A = this chain, B = another copy of it.
Amino acid sequence: MTDHTITFLSDDVKNTVLVPTGTLLVEAARKSGIEVGQPCGGQGRCGRCAVQVTGGNVRRRSTLRLSKEAIEQGFALACQSTVEGDLNVYIPPQEKIERRLATDRTVTDISVPIGYNIQSAQTLQRIHLTLSPPSTEDQTDDWSRLKTALRLQGIEEVTCSLGLMQKIGSLLREGDWQVSALIDTFPNDRTIPARLITLDPEHITDEEPLWGIAIDIGTTTVTLWLVELISGEVRVQVAEYNSQIARGEDVISRIIFASKNNGKEEMRERVLETINNLLDLACKRANTLPDQVKKATISGNSTMIHLLLGIPASSIRLSPFITTANHMPPLSGREVGVNIDPDGTVDCLPGVASYVGSDITAGVLSSGIDTAERVTLFLDVGTNGETVLGNRDWLVACACSAGPAFEGAGVLHGMRATIGAIEEIWVNSKTYEPTYRVIGGGKPRGLCGSGLISLLAELFLTGVLDKAGNYDLELDSPRIRQGEHGAEYVVAWGKETVDGNDIIFSRVDIDNLLRAKAAIYAGFTVLTDQVGVKLEDVNQVLIGGSFGKYINVEKAVQIGLLPDMPWERFDFLGNTSVRGAYYALLDWHSRQRIKEIANRMTYIELSANNTFYDGFMSAMFLPHTDMSRFPTIEAVMNKM
């Protein structure tokens, strides 16, 4: 097998590499030092890794996401095409993963829980010890001497890592036998002995800050709160895109990527890199150091937690959808690879099932459904669309695989809610001409989730689309036309856009959106049916997830994503997951509550559920086959 010379050209580099026949272009590019992003995890689904072969031949294993013209121009999906000879390849500028630090949109108003008291709430204990120094009359070893002193303070059993054992001798002597010990007790699990985290040779006053972090590992965004545990105050909030995005936008793509070659290790390194960068940043802002952080609580969907811990996630993806563990044992910074104190506790909060993770149990805690008197619906509109229904007496949950359409993936001109995304749109009911608002105010590049919901609702209400999502090609507008993928609507003409191409909204895009919204709607209809509650009896609909914050409720009801209810029953809570992790970090009673939530929540697997399938099919219309469920929309339509 001979090697071929591949020359990669992009706007800023020109790299040459030798590879054998059959090498994937994405691999060849990586070998040459260029990373081609693969949002769908290398499955040929998203079409974002298209490159242009300007010389030589490649074998295209899939052209699903390429037009005839694109193929004629030499375009090929880097994740699906293999080298057959010497090549010249042009790599067009990709949608960059902007490392925007979401400081504005993601900062949450948060106050310390009323009555918070570190003494009764916190598992960490600072204990000041004065030991009698050893002498030739008392040659007790250091560790026994320390354990005896701790026993006098009520700590019966204590363990210590080998890493810390290597230091206690010098720390005790440096402190001249007076030290401040930091112990983590585990009141939530009496089978775990207390663990020594730090031994400080200086006298640490009880007022000295004590640091912890609460982390939400979102599929898209990782959020970290730096918390001072004595006051209980959140001192810094930071968030950044999860660097795993470059290897898949949804959990399924990531699981697939992680199961290939060194994918598992890469996924772990990527999320750790994101977390450790955020930790550095937060600590700098609070004028402290990462190793001063002594405890971390982490919430996230089950896939994110598995990937963080290097645990294979394949069985999460495949029926019957099983995690390795929903309740992880307490770990340390050293074991997990998070740069807090190596002996600091890392507590991955417990989840319920493969698709109802600790982001949801933490979300339930922080939204208070588990203590609500009346029936409440909790909705996390994201790739997975987890839904919880319940009150203080019962909790049921499901996850409905909405897919990433609302996050801009699987839609031709979809994109994340960053600069250049159309986030809101209005369509004139006479001329069918659109007006829109672009994030950042410049020329549009595509449509983000809220823009897509808005567009779908407007096209339906103005009659451009019928209930089934079909375009009315009879209407007199150049924007409604037959395109390569069937009928389409031109949202923006090429002359208005960043790249000079029309931004269109195709029949295929509509189908993906309908599937996503139908899945979510069917999810909560299954839950209400299952427990015999009518939708109108739901007292409150709580929407979590940062995506939820920007939905226009009216439009979301119009397309049938949210149920038709008085608007005052909707409440947008923002990131309920990190908030729950924060409560669990502060107070072991809250941590205990999350464990109880995880244990008592009944998970309903939808993949084997006929009610779900029926509900899903009925919801594949705008807003629904059964218009009696959407009386408000019916009224609006009658008025138009």
**Among candidates B134, B165, B312, B320, residue contacting A322 with C-beta atoms closer than 8 Å:** B134
> What is the minimal beta-carbon distance from A186 to any residue of chain B, in angstroms?
12
A191 CA / B354 CA spacing, docked (Å): 33
**Cβ of A605 and Cβ of B169 under 8 Å apart?**
no
Known: A139-B354, A191-B157, A608-B136. A166 touches B312 (CB 8 A): yes
> What is the minimal beta-carbon distance from A386 to any residue of chain B, in angstroms?
15
Contact with B along A154-177 (1 / 0, CB 8 A): 000101101001101110010000
Contact with B along A320-338 (1 / 0, CB 8 A): 1111111111010001100
Cβ contacts under 8 Å, A320 to chain B: 134-136, 139
> What is the minimal beta-carbon distance from A303 to any residue of chain B, in angstroms?
13
**Cβ of A607 and Cβ of B166 under 8 Å apart?**
no
**Among candidates B160, B325, B329, residue contacting A159 with C-beta atoms closer than 8 Å:** B329
A353 CA / B141 CA spacing, docked (Å): 7
**Cβ of B315 and Cβ of A173 under 8 Å apart?**
yes
A169 CA / B157 CA spacing, docked (Å): 32
- The yes or no answer to A309 lying at the interface (CB within 8 A) is yes
Known: A165-B311, A309-B165. A325 touches B134 (CB 8 A): no
**Cβ of B193 and Cβ of A312 under 8 Å apart?**
no
Cβ contacts under 8 Å, A170 to chain B: 312
- The yes or no answer to A319 lying at the interface (CB within 8 A) is yes
- The yes or no answer to A603 lying at the interface (CB within 8 A) is yes
A173 CA / B322 CA spacing, docked (Å): 11
- The yes or no answer to A638 lying at the interface (CB within 8 A) is no
Cβ contacts under 8 Å, A336 to chain B: 162
- The yes or no answer to A84 lying at the interface (CB within 8 A) is no
| A323 closest partner in B (C-beta) | B141
Cβ contacts under 8 Å, A309 to chain B: 162, 165-166
**Cβ of B169 and Cβ of A315 under 8 Å apart?**
yes
A322 CA / B311 CA spacing, docked (Å): 42
> What is the minimal beta-carbon distance from A62 to any residue of chain B, in angstroms?
28
- The yes or no answer to A610 lying at the interface (CB within 8 A) is no
**Cβ of A324 and Cβ of B193 under 8 Å apart?**
no
Cβ contacts under 8 Å, A326 to chain B: 141, 143-144
| A351 closest partner in B (C-beta) | B141
Contact with B along A589-621 (1 / 0, CB 8 A): 000000000000001010110000000000000
Cβ contacts under 8 Å, A321 to chain B: 136, 139
> What is the minimal beta-carbon distance from A138 to any residue of chain B, in angstroms?
8
A326 CA / B141 CA spacing, docked (Å): 6
| A268 closest partner in B (C-beta) | B166
Cβ contacts under 8 Å, A169 to chain B: 311-312, 314-315, 322, 324
| A156 closest partner in B (C-beta) | B191
Known: A193-B191, A311-B165. A319 touches B136 (CB 8 A): yes
Known: A157-B191, A315-B173, A329-B160. A310 touches B139 (CB 8 A): no
**Among candidates B134, B325, B329, residue contacting A142 with C-beta atoms closer than 8 Å:** B325
A142 CA / B323 CA spacing, docked (Å): 6
Known: A141-B322, A324-B142. A311 touches B166 (CB 8 A): yes
Which of A144, A165, A310, A314 lies at the interface centre, i.e. has the most chain B CB atoms within 10 A of its CB?
A: A165
**Cβ of A324 and Cβ of B608 under 8 Å apart?**
no
Contact residues, A323-378 vs B (CB, 8 A)? 323-329, 331, 335-336, 353-354
A323 CA / B169 CA spacing, docked (Å): 8
| A609 closest partner in B (C-beta) | B136
> What is the minimal beta-carbon distance from A140 to any residue of chain B, in angstroms?
8
| A140 closest partner in B (C-beta) | B322
Contact residues, A106-142 vs B (CB, 8 A)? 134-136, 139-142
A1 CA / B309 CA spacing, docked (Å): 49
**Cβ of B324 and Cβ of A141 under 8 Å apart?**
yes
A309 CA / B166 CA spacing, docked (Å): 8
Cβ contacts under 8 Å, A603 to chain B: 139
| A159 closest partner in B (C-beta) | B329
**Cβ of A353 and Cβ of B139 under 8 Å apart?**
yes
Cβ contacts under 8 Å, A605 to chain B: 136, 139
A298 CA / B367 CA spacing, docked (Å): 53
| A138 closest partner in B (C-beta) | B320
**Among candidates B166, B168, B311, residue contacting A310 with C-beta atoms closer than 8 Å:** B166
Cβ contacts under 8 Å, A143 to chain B: 324-327
Contact residues, A160-202 vs B (CB, 8 A)? 160, 162, 165-166, 168-170, 173, 191, 193
Contact residues, A371-389 vs B (CB, 8 A)? none
> What is the minimal beta-carbon distance from A353 to any residue of chain B, in angstroms?
6
Cβ contacts under 8 Å, A327 to chain B: 141, 143-144
A309 CA / B321 CA spacing, docked (Å): 42
Cβ contacts under 8 Å, A159 to chain B: 329
**Among candidates B136, B162, B319, B335, residue contacting A607 with C-beta atoms closer than 8 Å:** B136
A142 CA / B314 CA spacing, docked (Å): 13
> What is the minimal beta-carbon distance from A603 to any residue of chain B, in angstroms?
7
Cβ contacts under 8 Å, A314 to chain B: 169
A354 CA / B134 CA spacing, docked (Å): 13
> What is the minimal beta-carbon distance from A86 to any residue of chain B, in angstroms?
41
Cβ contacts under 8 Å, A134 to chain B: 320, 322
Which of A141, A314, A315, A608 lies at the interface centre, i.e. has the most chain B CB atoms within 10 A of its CB?
A: A141
Besides the contacts A142-B325, A159-B329, A162-B309, what 10 more A-B pairs have beta carbons closer than 8 Å? A134-B320, A139-B322, A141-B322, A141-B324, A142-B324, A143-B325, A157-B191, A162-B310, A165-B309, A166-B312
18 A–B contact pairs at CB < 8 A? A136-B605, A139-B321, A139-B322, A139-B354, A140-B322, A141-B322, A144-B326, A157-B191, A159-B329, A162-B310, A162-B336, A165-B309, A165-B311, A165-B325, A165-B328, A166-B309, A169-B314, A170-B312
What 9 pairs between A and B have smallest CB-CB spacing? A143-B325, A169-B324, A141-B323, A136-B608, A141-B326, A136-B320, A134-B322, A136-B605, A142-B324
